[in-house]
Amino acid sequence: MSESAEGNDEYSHARKLVLRAAKREAALSKADAPVPDGMGSSIGADFSNMTLKPDHIQRPCWACPDGNIYLEAFHDLYTQAYDFLVAISEPVARPEFIHQYKLTPYSLYAAVATNIETESIIGVLERLSKNALPPQVKKFVRDCTSKYGKAKLVLKHNKFYVESEFPEVLRELLRDPTIAQARIQEDVENVDDHGFLTNTKQEEMKENLQMLREPDDDSDDEMEQNDKSKKPTVVVSFQVDGSKVENVKRQAIELDYPLMEEYDFRNDNINPNVPLMDLKPITRIRRYQERSLAKMFGNGRARSGIIVLPCGAGKTLTGVTAAQTIKKSCVCLATNAVSVLQWKHQFQKWTNIPDDRICVFTSDQKDKIHPEACVLVTTYTMISYSGKRSEQSQKIMDQITGKEWGLLLMDEVHVVPAKMFRRVIGSVKAHCRLGLTATLVREDDLISDLNFLIGPKLYEANWMDLTAQGYLANVQCVEVWCPMTGPFMKEYLMATNARLKQLLYVMNPSKLRAVEYLVRFHEERGDKIIVFSDLVYSLKLYAEMLKKPLIYGETPERERQAILGTFRASDMIRTICISKVGDTSIDLPEANVIIQVSSHFGSRRQEAQRLGRILRPKSYTRQDGTNKSTFNAFFYTLVSSDTQEMFYSAKRQQYLIDQGYTFKIVTNLCEKAAEAAVEEGYSYSTPEDDRKLLRTVLQSETDLEKEQRAEDAAIRKNNADGAALADAGTKRSTGATISQMSGGSGMRYREVNSSKKHPLFRKRQRR
Amino acid sequence: MASAASSEEQKVSPSKKRKMKDDDAASKASGVMAYLQTSLSKESLSQLYLDPTRGRYVCRAVLQELPMTSQQVVVRLICCGGSFPRNLVNIWCGKKYWGHKQIMEMVKWAILKQPADDDAAIQLTDEFFQGYKAALHSMDTSPWSPLTPAQVEVMEQEASAVEGKPVKFPAMTQEDLERYTQSQWDAVLHYLVGTPNLDVQPNPAISHFLLETKLMQPDPEYRGDPEEAPLVITRKGYDFMLQDSTQQVWHFVLQYLQSIERQGNEKAVVFKREALLVLLCLSYAKFGECYASAVLSKDGRRIVRDLALFGLLYVKKVGKKSVFYPTRIAMQLVGGAEASSSSKSGKRGGGGGMWSWSSKALDSALAHPYPSDSSHLAIIVQTNFQLCAYTTSELHVSMLGLFCEVQTIRRLPNVVFMAITRDSIKGAFALGIQAHQILRFLEKHVHPKLRDNTTSPIPSNVVDQVYLWDRERHRVEWNEVFMHQCVLDGEFHAVQSYTMEHQAHAWSNAGRNQLFIKFPYAEQVQSFVRKWRAKAAAG
């Protein structure tokens, strides 16, 4: 298949770049990080001999030679420093007071891609840093940015141009025979001595470069602006043959000048615009959405890249706005049929797009694609399906592959398995790719590939800032410790089968009681509750106990929509039980309580995604900055104490903890629940109930296996995200390290060998 | 609010626990007044009251220790000539506030004479009566008056005349003094934790003290002459390190007093009395003022020199005369109980121990961490269990290393990052450090930016987690037991009831006729069993 071959090709290029980047990063972290004596191999480092500037107190951050940057979040210059650091580095942890960032090749690529120059990165970093900028950092920044981002591939007037500010870069590229061959000589006026076309540079938006400016030179701002308009930067370019573009791109990667693609959509008059696709006047874009889009369209052209916004912060609106800015045909990929409908709905809600210009392509619904420009909403699975298709869908598929698209919009881009991703990229020819995600973490290393397959990360919002501003609900995260009842603990300790162990700690009767207690409590308060369980068998039991509707992989689409509809619209249903199909993309703005009964081992992403279900601000969320003082949503994780669950839950929370969330541990809820159970007659209140439950659990092992497999199959069929999760389950045996799989580098429960000797134990001579 | 409701309760338990521990600490309260009350005989107290010039200050200080009602009674009694009928005194106060307990307390202070019976008149002791009368008559607020600028000038001139060159008076600001105390005291602690290459070496007397107080011990693993064995820190020493600095200092002063006591002769008794008087008078001195050593007796001057070893006073010679500055920590020694509660007030005012610097001193230290004053410490604990400490001192790094993961340390020029992990906290527990000590330490040294917060400066999830880790230790309890296998049911019941009666019962399994007996009672129960079996065989 030629299309997938092309996808593979691009994929292998991305890998090549990833490897190169990894090499650079390794060189940096090795760059003399002196290990404190007597501590052997450790993650620690001693940089205490760096010189501190005399006026360090006026500067907000420290830059370490290994690329780590620490930022005082309570500093006066925080906002400026934050904007800058997010643009050039990767946030590692952003709690309330001291943030940690890390310079990586990718983050620097992203910085260059948004027109921040090498020297200004170094200059501003030097200005912000409390210590003299270590030479290693300067070298690293220069290394990473010397070649990347210097040349761009621009699609303008439907011709491809290789464009650069630096003529020598173009000359170097042209020294390569493949590229030289692809060049088309033009006979126009504005050529320089080398035969390059000269143009004035597309100025980057003022706003995007604001952070680079000295804080105190606001006064001569205007003058500077005038200077610029008098002497605009000149860019040079040459045209390449459209049919040889792929060769040029590949060759450029070989030369380590990866071409960044920009799409000059305003000057594209071959591809027609989607008519009437304008934002409705009622649509209001929030500041951070605007910032992220400003990064994308910074110089009047569209850049490919990824935008990271927390769940519930309005990713969809950001995507819709991007699509309507470009106004060309657009493919929008979602993870499942439910979210496809949501995307369509959002397009219609925010823009005036005519009904016949937006079409849906799912297994249930196959709209006809408008011959001219249109918006197509579909799932990853539909596009990447490699088996035999029905005649109708094959026809649509052919149309998709045959068409030239303006924008490829990818929702929840972090969940797509690599293989599927390749096929998608091979099938849809788009001039610009935009990925949207809430959690750019994955337990495998696809994330770095995304940097080259889609583009650099353009923007990442800070969860805590958005919460403080009231754009997100302020969630109280609670970890409830449920002691295992005696008989369950006994079986748990004796069980050899991991599945059975898992079932035992999920079905722990004190957990059942705690769930019922919490559900009753919150229903009385008038909250809307989602109960999450990964284990279908237990989900069914919980639903039965609570007498609430449930949704899992095999639930028919119609029934699913009906349940969700009732939940959204009325108070008839206040609680629903959902399996992992509900982790992403199910939009339930009314829900404000999550009770998580069981989960996928140590997946940090799942935890963040689930939290995202209730992050959407509620009608009573205050936007005047006081939001942080009160909690208006609750995220309960029930954990059976003294089981593996404790370990997994610590791993899972790491991502959110790094975003500044705290998990409150509650140990006495189960006692209260047990009391209430007896008083109010819960389904499981007596020891006899517990024993009965244990007997059923022990007998149902085979059922359980079967159901779980059916669930995985069902999910894989129509939900890319689920497939990723299901894949992760099987990957475990072959996959890399356990720590990667279980959620990484958490500090709290880090295992260390205890052979270290504390300096205090050193001996001293008596005087 | 659901979780609030449930979590509120959860919150109670650790904080309750903390409060309990605080009370615990208060009961061990340190300070001159506590020492006077608990360790001095009534006779010695009376002697203090009788001191001609300083007795009145002792009386004042003691009176301030009493509850308000008792203070009232004392003042009225003085106006009434020192004695008044018991039933009338009762009318003054009301039963609720005045009774046997208060009387006995005052008897213990040697303020009241021991009443012969319940109806006897309430009578002040002659010594206290005289001492306090003197206090009422005098208008002085301080036993010593600080040097005036004019006096200073005279001293400078005299000194210059003696030396033959101009002599400058050693002017010290409050910050200078704090820095001085800090560096002296740090030298002690550095020695305790064994920092290599110290700049300030502590006096040999101090290492003697460390050994004496069992904060350090000769290395038990040392092979060779025991006299030569190097010193290592003890468990008590770890505990000591994280204590309130006021308590630490008091610990030393107490040791000092006790070492005087041990000499046992008449001279030592007089000397100790002088020492107590000096300490009491110090509390009336003004911080940042300079006093001439001439105000002291000969013994007093020796005491001042000794106290200067710990950095409690700053002593300087100007020509032939010497002057001294009291430090904040020395003045706080009197009110030891107050200092132990300063974890609460420390949050507000930054008062309390010497490490919680006055915010002005700390701010300037943060701005200029080099080179002179490298002993400031400002800590930020973050919700992700990362600890960030603004310090340049090896000592602080070592101290933080007691409960932070040493392997995660990242040192920057003026700041240190470390992580608090379960292992690291458990390691601290194993050294005998308490959870509340760790948290109090963190709270005390919190970064000034976090001080003005009304909420706790340490994230509540970290606090809870530390207590939970603490609790983990107590989940399994090890008891030595003796298992007794009974042959007959009758025997089982008989032995079971016997063990129950004698609190020897640990656990029993009726199904298998097994009894688990607390080990100390094993023999006793065995002999009972023998008797029972003999009886059963006979019967």
Q: Phi first, then psi: give them for residue A482, nearest 5 degrees.
A: -110, 115
Choose the mutation target among B12, B188, B217, B384 for the interface with A, i.e. most A CBs under 10 Å: B384
Cβ-proximal residues to A101 (8 Å cutoff; 6+ apart), any chain: A68, A69, A70, A71, A85, A86, A89, A90, A91, A92
CA B171 to the chain's CA centroid: 31
| Structure token pair of residue A471 | 């754009």
Distances, alpha carbon A739 to alpha carbons A440, A602, A648, B423, in Å? 18, 9, 11, 18
Q: Which fold has domain B481-538?
A: Alpha-Beta Plaits (3.30.70)
Are the C-beta atoms of B135 and B60 separated by less than 8 Å?
A: yes
| Contact status of A764 with chain B (Cβ, < 8 Å) | yes
Q: In angstroms, what separates the C-alpha of A653 from chain B's closest C-alpha?
A: 10
The 10s digit of each residue's pLDDT in B498-526 is 998 888 888 888 888 888 888 888 888 88
| Mean of pLDDT over chain B | 77
Closest residue, chain A, to B427 (C-alpha) = A754
pLDDT of A318 strictly over 90 = yes
How confident is residue B286, by pLDDT bands cut at 50, 70 and 90? confident
CB A353 within 8 A of CB A382: no
Task: Name the region of A115 (left: φ>0; alpha: ψ -120 to 50; beta: rest).
Answer: left
Q: Does A38 touch chain B (CB under 8 A)?
A: no
Three-class DSSP labels, B151-186: HHHHHHHHHHHHHCCCCCCCCCCHHHHHHHHHHHHH
Q: Which residues 646-685 of chain A have a CB within 8 Å of chain B?
A: 657-658, 660-669, 672
Rounded to a whole number of angstroms, the distance from the CA of A482 to the nearest CA of chain B is: 14
Q: Which of A46, A58, A764 to mutate to test the interface with B (most CBs of B within 10 A)?
A: A764
Alpha-carbon Rg for chain A in angstroms: 28
Q: Cα separation of B392 and B413, whole Å?
A: 7
Average pLDDT over residues A410-434: 80
Q: Say which residues have a Cβ less than 8 Å from residue A81's Cβ, sequence separation at least 6.
A: A60, A61, A71, A75, A128
pLDDT of residue A62: 92
Q: How far apart are the first and last CA of chain B?
A: 68
Give the chain A residue whose CA is nearest to the CA of B461: A664
| Helix H or strand E segment including A565 | helix A557-569
Measured in whole angstroms, the distance separating CA A12 from the mean position of its chain's CA atoms is: 22
Side-chain half-sphere CA neighbours of B509 within 13 A: 8
Whether the predicted pLDDT of A670 surpasses 80? yes
Q: Is the Cβ pair A96, B383 closer than 8 Å?
A: yes
Using alpha carbons, select from B25, B400, B493, B501 the residue that is nearest to residue B243: B25
**H or E element in which residue A23 lies:** helix A2-30
Strands A593-596 and A529-532: what pairing?
Answer: parallel
pLDDT classification of A300: cutoffs 50, 70, 90? confident
Helix (H/G/I), strand (E/B), else coil: A680: helix
- Of the pLDDT bands very low, low, confident and very high (cuts 50, 70, 90), residue A376 is very high
Convert the pLDDT of each residue in B42-92 to its tens digit. 888 888 888 888 888 888 888 888 888 888 888 888 888 888 888 888 888
A525 and chain B: CB distance < 8 Å anywhere?
yes
| Number of CB atoms found within 10 A of residue A385's CB | 15
Q: Where are the domains of chain B?
A: 14-137, 152-344, 359-474, 481-538
Give the gap in angstroms from C-alpha A450 to the nearest C-alpha of chain B: 28
Give the tens place of pLDDT for each residue, B374-397.
Answer: 567 888 998 888 899 988 877 788
Angle at B140 between CA B136 and CA B141, to 5 degrees: 100
E strands within A134-175?
Answer: 151-156, 159-164
Taking an 8 Å cut-off on Cβ atoms, the answer to whether B423 and A522 are in contact is: no
Sequence letter at residue B122: I
The region of weakest confidence among A83-97, A718-732, B384-398 is: A718-732
Mapped onto helix, strand or coil, the DSSP state of residue B531 is helix
Residues of chain B positioned with their CB less than 8 A from the CB of A661: 383
Instruction: Render pLDDT for A559-572 as a digit per residue (tens, 0 to 9).
Output: 888 888 898 888 88
Q: Are strands A375-379 and A330-334 parallel, antiparallel or unpaired?
A: parallel
Q: Which of A597, A441, A424, A604 is nearest to A510 (CA)?
A: A597
Task: Please state which of the ranges A427-441, B211-225, B456-470 shows the lowest mean pLDDT.
Answer: B211-225
Confidence of residue B351 (pLDDT cuts 50, 70, 90): very low
Report which of A217, A214, A321, A199 is spatially closest to residue A267, judged by C-alpha positions. Answer: A199
CB atoms within 10 A of CB A341: 19
In A310-395, the DSSP E strands lie at 330-334, 358-361, 375-379
Residue with tokens 């610990």: B251
- Looking up tokens 């990964």, which residue turns up? A534
Asked if B423 and A750 come within 8 Å (Cβ–Cβ), the reply is yes
Say what the pLDDT of residue B440 is. Answer: 83
Residues A47 and A355: their CA atoms lie apart, in Å, by 61
CA-nearest residue to B460 within chain A is A664
pLDDT of A100: 92
Query: Which of A53-62, A232-241, A556-565, B461-470 bottoms out in mean pLDDT, i.e. has the lowest?
Result: A232-241
Determine the 3-state secondary structure of A622 from DSSP.
coil
Is the minimum CB–CB distance between A631 and chain B shorter than 8 Å?
yes
* Helix A2-30 / helix A446-453 crossing angle, nearest 10 deg: 110
Closest residue, chain B, to A748 (C-alpha): B421
- B10/chain A closest Cα distance in angstroms: 6
Residues A422/A383, Cβ–Cβ less than 8 Å: no
Q: Give chain A positions within 8 Å (CB) of B229.
A: 766
CB proximity A96 to B under 8 Å: yes
CA distances to B332, B351, B379 from B340, rounded to whole Å, are: 11, 11, 20
Question: CB-based contact (8 Å) between A588 and chain B?
Answer: no
Choose, out of A64, A98, A631, A661, the residue to mutate when testing the contact with B (most B CBs < 10 Å): A98
Long-range contacts of B172-176 (CB under 8 A, 24+ apart): B172/B288, B172/B290, B172/B314, B172/B325, B173/B288, B174/B287, B174/B288, B174/B328, B174/B358, B174/B361, B175/B358, B175/B360, B175/B361, B175/B364
pLDDT at A647 over 80: yes
| The predicted structure's pLDDT at residue A71 | 93
C-alpha span between B429 and B441 (Å, rounded)? 15
- Nearest C-alpha neighbor of A60 from the set A37, A83, A38, A76: A76
Q: Evaluate whether A571 touches A598 at the Cβ level (below 8 Å).
A: no
A411 to chain B, closest Cα gap in Å? 29
Would you give the DSSP letter of residue A614? Answer: T
Q: What integer best gives the mean pLDDT of chain A?
A: 79
Q: Rounded distance, CA A108 to CA A111, Å?
A: 5
Q: What pLDDT is stored for residue A387 in this prediction?
A: 79
The shortest CB-CB distance from B2 to any of A74, A131, A522 is to A522
Nearest to A45 among B2, B410, B459 (CB): B410
Q: Give residue for tokens 């009350």.
A: B37
Tell me which residue of A240, A261, A236, A251 sits closest to A169, measured CA to CA. A236
Asked if residue A709 has pLDDT above 50, the reply is yes
pLDDT at B452: 66
DSSP string, A32-56: T-PPPTT--S-S-EE-TTSPBPTTG
When pLDDT is averaged across residues A309-329 and rounded to a whole number, the result is 89
Q: Classify residue B125 by its DSSP letter.
A: -
CB contact under 8 A, A759 and B468: no
Write a three-state SS string for B430-478: HCCCCHHHHHHHHHHCECHHHHCCCCCCCCHHHHHHHHHHHHHHCCCCC
- For residues B352 and B346, give the distance between their C-alpha atoms in angstroms, rounded to a whole number: 6
Q: Between vectors from CA B454 to CA B448 and to CA B458, what angle results, nearest 5°? A: 65
Q: Choose the closest CB to A669 out of B6, B382, B409.
A: B6
CA of B475: which chain A residue's CA is closest? A642
**Cα A438 to Cα A443: distance, rounded to the nearest angstrom:** 15
Which of B194, B423, B461 comes nearest A764 by C-beta? B194
Can you read off the two tokens belonging to residue A77? 């210059």
Distance from CA of A77 to the nearest CA of B (A): 15
Please count the other Cβ atoms lying within 10 Å of the Cβ belonging to residue A233.
11
In the predicted model, what is the mean pLDDT of residues B390-417?
A: 84
For B499, half-sphere exposure in the C-beta direction (CA atoms, 13 angstrom radius) is 29
| N-term to C-term CA, chain A | 83
Contact A64 B412 (CB under 8 A): yes
Are A43 and B408 an interchain contact pair (Cβ–Cβ within 8 Å)? yes
Interface test with B, best of A604, A748, A753, A761 (most B CBs within 10 A): A748
Out of B219, B409, B461, name the one closest to residue A763 (CB). B219
Instruction: Assess contact for A463 and A469: CB atoms under 8 A.
Output: no
- Strand, helix or coil at B486? coil
Asked if B411 and A45 come within 8 Å (Cβ–Cβ), the reply is yes
The reply to whether A131 touches chain B by the CB within 8 Å rule is yes
List of chain B residues whose C-beta atoms are within 8 Å of the C-beta of residue A44:
406-411
Q: Is A750 on the interface with B (CB under 8 A)?
A: yes
DSSP-assigned beta bridge partners for residue B114: none
Cα nearest neighbour of B459 on chain A:
A662
Nearest CA in chain A to B205: A767
Say which residue the tokens 């392509």 belong to: A361
Q: If you measure CA to CA, which chain A residue comes closest to B419?
A: A747
CA distance A412 to chain B (A): 26
Q: For B222, which residue in chain A has the nearest alpha carbon?
A: A763
The distance of A480 to chain B (nearest Cα, Å) reads 10
Chain-chain contact of B3 with A634 (C-beta, under 8 angstroms):
yes
Which positions in chain B touch A36 (Cβ < 8 Å)? 409, 411
* Contact flag B461-A665 (C-beta cutoff 8 Å): yes
- Selecting from B392, B411, B423 the residue whose C-beta is nearest the C-beta of A47 gives B411
Question: What DSSP state is assigned to residue A366?
Answer: B
Instruction: Indicate yes or no: CB of B382 within 8 angstroms of CB of A96.
Output: yes
Which of B349, B375, B384 is CA-nearest to residue A97? Answer: B384
User: Using alpha carbons only, what angle is made at residue A630 by residues A624 and A631, rounded to the nearest 5 degrees?
Assistant: 120
State whether A767 and B204 contact (CB < 8 Å): yes
Highest mean pLDDT among A394-398, B433-437, B453-457: A394-398
Continuous segment of H or E residues that includes residue B11 = helix B2-27
Residue A43 distance to chain B (closest CA, Å): 6
Q: Kindly determine whether residue B464 and residue A525, on different chains, have CB atoms separated by under 8 Å.
A: no
For residue B146, cis peptide bond before it (omega within 30 degrees of 0): no
Is the Cβ pair B232, A663 closer than 8 Å?
A: no
